[in-house]
Amino acid sequence: MSFSLLILTGVLFAAGSYLLMERSLTRIALGVGVLGNGVNVLIVAAGSSPAEAPIIGRVGELTDPLPQALVLTAIVIGFALLSFVLALAWRNWTITENDEVEDDVEDRLITRRDSSSAKSTDERHREDVSP
Amino acid sequence: MTTLLSLVVLLPLIGAATALVFRPRPVQRTLSFVTLGTSLVAATSVLVDAWSNDAMHVVRMGGWPGSFAITFVADRLASVMVVIALTVTLLVLVYSVGQKSAGERSAFYHPVYMVMSAGISQAFLAGDLFNLFVAFEILLMASYVLLTLEGSDAQIRAGTTYVVLNVIESMVLVTAVGLIFAATGTVSMAELPARLAALPDGTRIGLQLLLLVAFGIKAAVFPLFFWLPDSYPTAPSSVSAVFAGLLTKVGVYCLIRTQTLLFPGELNDLIVVVGALTMALGVLGAISHTDMKRILSFHIVSQIGYMVFGLGIGGTAAIAATIFYLIHHIPVKTSLFLVEGIIERDSGSSSFDAVSGLARRSPAFAAMFLVPALSLAGLPPLSGFLAKFAIVRAGVDSEQWVAVAVALAVSLLTLVSMTKIWVGAFWGDVEPAASVGVGILRRHALMSMATALVVVLSLAIAVGAGPLYDFANKAAEQILDVAGYVTAVKS
Amino acid sequence: MTSPEHPKDVSNSGGARNPSDIVRSAIFDELVDRWLSKVAVLVAIYVTFRGHNAPGGGFAGGLIVGGVFVLQYLTGREPHVRFRTILHPTRLLGFGLLLALGTTVTPLFVGATPLESHIWKLDVPLIGEVKIVSSMFFDLGVFFVVVAVVLMILLSLGTRQSTVFGDEDIA
């Protein structure tokens, strides 16, 4: 397994996971893409050793075709997923004119119910947003 | 039989493609019913064969040998799950046509619904891990679309949580599959048991944990359940009914496969602890809410806990109990969501503060809620009692006292929160001004009929509990017999 | 809502339909429309059909054609793409899926397993022996699906107003 590919996998996983934790849907979409690529690199790095392409007629040591088939499938799935998240972000933007994922209303209700001394959720939300 | 088995998965996909080409709604509806119905017939004949003969059917796509092919395997457990899943999807389809939600009127509802059904069947039948991953993606992708089809504010918000969590789940799953392939050189479930057993302990446990996390997110077990009560309630009732009844069960089914076939009996203590915590936290969440859909969603979590607990105990009796629980829980949970959907459609709210006195207005409708609710809480003589009893007995036999105590307490708390819905929505004074509940069955005839059929299905499980339990026992013996699976699939 | 059913319907789209109404860069447009598109489509066809025995196939070919549509989107925005869309993308998607799935199930009728492929060898005058592989139809299906998906992304996400596919049936 190639060391540089491993490092690349790690970096892509870290960046992807970080982006997924953002509130902005565009960043989530980017995170989906980056994380997906990290996984693809991992499968290629872990599954196959560099050799001749496994096609009928080639001679010599052939590489294992299965990881590549898996990665191709994973790429297609990632493509579909990414376009869905983009559509989601787009729809969110047309409705709310911003890019943020909002809090859950029911959760806010429950928080408000049991914290009489606490501030209203609106205030709390504002605090979340402002730095 | 090979043809029938592949048609179970392929027919709904073909139906979906045709429905995209011919899009008038009557055509789409007919296509949905015909394809799902035909798949059900095909699946039933596979099941009948699995029940009567000791047959395990294997389809290898493309005629490739052994571990190269995309494999479908129908053993007893898989075929019974496919039949139950298709029955429920078909009944919910009837309901959703009656529901007239904005979602159902979209030209994409029926194609996507069929794709989801194909994905669910494929997940149950998958004979290799990568095929399983693809099946998960198919059903997830369809579920993303169904969840956000109306495109409202709340749906987008909940959809984001759901999508992000499931993306993480998919990534963990595909990473696990990739690493398993790297470690063993195969993804075929028939070859994996031997090769995994040959791995060093550390590697094997690492791989198992990755798979458990992936399936755990899907099955919504502690501590990975928080996305479920957040996202399910925003979907139209028909959709959340299918999600509640089937999608989480796919996760549980995969957990069963992992624990019996790939990593037999390993990390069982961890699974018992996770099961107990899932039961307890789920039911506590349910008690704190006043929205019916939220309560029911939290109950999914707590019920999953029972199945995970049963799986963790291990042994034929406990696995059989888990399988029985799995089968019983699908119609029960689905029907509760369907009943809630009728109330929501009639009153415009899913909070039980908004309705009262439904029992006096329509006793038959109240019965449709009461039967599955009591079954969920585990009151005799309903199927829930038998399922819980079997799990608790297996727990007592293996002396898991703490988890058994939790299971009993949770059952009581389930009853409490079901009583909360009952008292809130069904008892109480009839408000003379509001017309909510008058002739509720007649006004929503199609929805009520579908719901009634699901309730009847759950009653049938209680009535036929004897033979069904025998069947669950046989299925448990079959899936615990790893060597039998390997020879049947390889040959 | 615009109705994607009638691609040439100007009345309720809010945007220009005729390419001549659209402000765009002349050089880029010339380059893309007159040369690049045609060459790219040829390459796409080549890539799709060589897919059986060499790297390539329906997915890659479909993405290349999708890329052409993206370039056209860059030259003239969404109406420009719509102007060139003859078949409704949803239909195209269904058609592609049907083709691929049809190839999957056809072997069942001759007693083989799904997805099993068959090779026909034909003698065509002048060209010589031509091999036709049944999995080629699967690849063509994939090709159409990918093109349709790219079109749907462009037409629904690339506009100011929302073109929600599937809404056309809402009464």
pLDDT, residue C170, reads 35
pLDDT, residue C5, reads 42
Band of residue A54 on the pLDDT scale cut at 50, 70, 90:
low
Instruction: Report chain A residues whose CB lies below 8 A from the CB of B181.
Output: 43, 46-47, 66-67, 70
Residue B486: how many CA atoms within 13 Å on its side-chain side? 12
pLDDT, residue B70, reads 82
- Whether B25 and chain A come into contact, CB under 8 Å, resolves to no
pLDDT, residue A56, reads 65
Q: Which chain A residues in 87-116 lie under 8 Å from chain C, judged by CB atoms?
A: 87, 90-91, 94
3-state secondary structure of C161: coil
pLDDT, residue B432, reads 52
- Whether A41 and chain B come into contact, CB under 8 Å, resolves to no
Band of residue B89 on the pLDDT scale cut at 50, 70, 90:
very high
> B touches which chains (3+ CB pairs under 8 A)?
A, C
Query: Which of A55, A76, A91 shows the shortest C-beta gap to C53?
Result: A55
In this prediction, what percent of chain B has a pLDDT beyond 70?
95
pLDDT, residue B237, reads 81
C164 Cα to chain A: minimum distance (Å): 10
CB-based contact B175 A110, cutoff 8 Å: no
Provide the b/e sequence for A14-39 (b: ≥16 CB within 10 Å).
ebbeebbebeebbbbbbbbbbbbbbb
In this predicted model, which residue has the larger pLDDT, A21 or A60? Answer: A21
pLDDT, residue A121, reads 44
Is the pLDDT assigned to residue B115 strictly greater than 90?
Answer: yes
Query: Which of C53, C54, C157 shows the shortest C-beta gap to A86?
Result: C157
In this prediction, what percent of chain A has a pLDDT beyond 90?
15
Compute the average pLDDT of residues B264-292: 87
What chain C residue is nearest to A73 in terms of C-alpha separation? C59
Out of B477-486, C8-17, C160-169, least confident range: C8-17
Is the pLDDT assigned to residue B356 strictly greater than 50?
Answer: yes
CB-based contact C112 B105, cutoff 8 Å: no
Out of A49-63, B210-224, C125-139, C157-171, least confident range: C157-171
Query: Which of A72, A83, A94 shows the shortest C-beta gap to C149?
Result: A83
Band of residue B323 on the pLDDT scale cut at 50, 70, 90:
very high
Interface probe with C: pick from B23, B29, B72, B152, most Cβ of C within 10 Å: B23
pLDDT, residue B350, reads 67
Compute the average pLDDT of residues B161-172: 88
Interface probe with A: pick from C70, C97, C156, C163, most Cβ of A within 10 Å: C156
Cβ atoms A48, A67 nearer than 8 A? yes
Query: Which of B141, B161, B182 shows the shortest C-beta gap to A80?
Result: B141
Cβ atoms C113, B61 nearer than 8 A? yes
Give the angle subtended at the CA of C149 by the CAs of C146 and C150, to the nearest 5°: 90
Instruction: Report chain A residues whose CB lies below 8 A from the CB of C162.
Output: 90-91, 94
CB-based contact A39 B153, cutoff 8 Å: no
Give the domain range for residue B314.
2-490
CA distance B104 to B478: 40
Is the pLDDT assigned to residue B269 strictly greater than 70?
Answer: yes
Is the pLDDT assigned to residue C33 strictly greater than 80?
Answer: no
pLDDT per position as a tens digit, C1-18: 334 444 443 333 444 444
pLDDT, residue B290, reads 78
Instruction: Report chain B residues whose CB lies below 8 A from the CB of C97.
Output: 13, 16-17, 20
Instruction: Report chain B residues whose CB lies below 8 A from the CB of C101.
Output: 10, 13-14, 17
- Whether A76 and chain B come into contact, CB under 8 Å, resolves to no
Compute the average pLDDT of residues B125-136: 90
Band of residue A122 on the pLDDT scale cut at 50, 70, 90:
very low
Instruction: Report chain C residues whose CB lies below 8 A from the CB of B70.
Output: 115
Band of residue C120 on the pLDDT scale cut at 50, 70, 90:
confident
Is the pLDDT assigned to residue A118 strictly greater than 80?
Answer: no
Instruction: Report chain B residues whose CB lies below 8 A from the CB of A85.
Output: 163, 167
pLDDT, residue A131, reads 39
Out of B116-130, B207-221, B303-317, C40-54, least confident range: C40-54
In this prediction, what percent of chain B has a pLDDT beyond 90?
23
pLDDT, residue C90, reads 84
Mean pLDDT score of chain B: 86
Domains for chain A: give ranges and CATH numbers: 3-100 (1.10.287.3510), 104-131 (no CATH)
Is the pLDDT assigned to residue B83 strictly greater than 90?
Answer: yes
CB-based contact B163 A80, cutoff 8 Å: no
Is the pLDDT assigned to residue B6 strictly greater than 70?
Answer: yes
Query: Which of C98, C112, C171 shows the shortest C-beta gap to B18?
Result: C98
- Whether B284 and chain A come into contact, CB under 8 Å, resolves to no
CA distance A119 to A111: 10
CB-based contact C165 B23, cutoff 8 Å: no
Instruction: Report chain B residues whose CB lies below 8 A from the CB of C171.
Output: 105
Instruction: Report chain A residues whose CB lies below 8 A from the CB of C59.
Output: 72, 76
Q: How many residue pairs bridge chain A and chain C with CB atoms within 8 Å of each other? A: 21
Interface probe with A: pick from C50, C143, C153, most Cβ of A within 10 Å: C153
Band of residue B37 on the pLDDT scale cut at 50, 70, 90:
very high
Structure token digits, residue B37? 């119905």
pLDDT per position as a tens digit, A74-92: 888 888 888 888 888 888 8
Compute the average pLDDT of residues B432-445: 65
Out of B397-401, C8-12, C166-170, least confident range: C8-12
Is the pLDDT assigned to residue A38 strictly greater than 50?
Answer: yes
pLDDT, residue B308, reads 92
Cβ-based burial of B254 (10 A; exposed 0-12, middle 13-18, buried ≥19)? buried
Is the pLDDT assigned to residue C154 strictly greater than 50?
Answer: yes
Compute the average pLDDT of residues C105-115: 79
What chain C residue is nearest to A83 in terms of C-alpha separation? C153
In this predicted model, which residue has the larger pLDDT, B385 or C123? Answer: B385
- Whether B1 and chain A come into contact, CB under 8 Å, resolves to no
Q: How many domains does chain B have?
A: 1
C157 Cα to chain A: minimum distance (Å): 7
Cβ atoms A82, A16 nearer than 8 A? no
Band of residue B436 on the pLDDT scale cut at 50, 70, 90:
low
CB-based contact C156 A90, cutoff 8 Å: yes
* Cis peptide preceding B363, ω within 30 of 0: no
Whose CA is closest to B383, among B458, B300, B285, B331?
B458
In this predicted model, which residue has the larger pLDDT, C60 or A105? Answer: C60
Amino acid of residue A46: A
Compute the average pLDDT of residues B438-443: 70
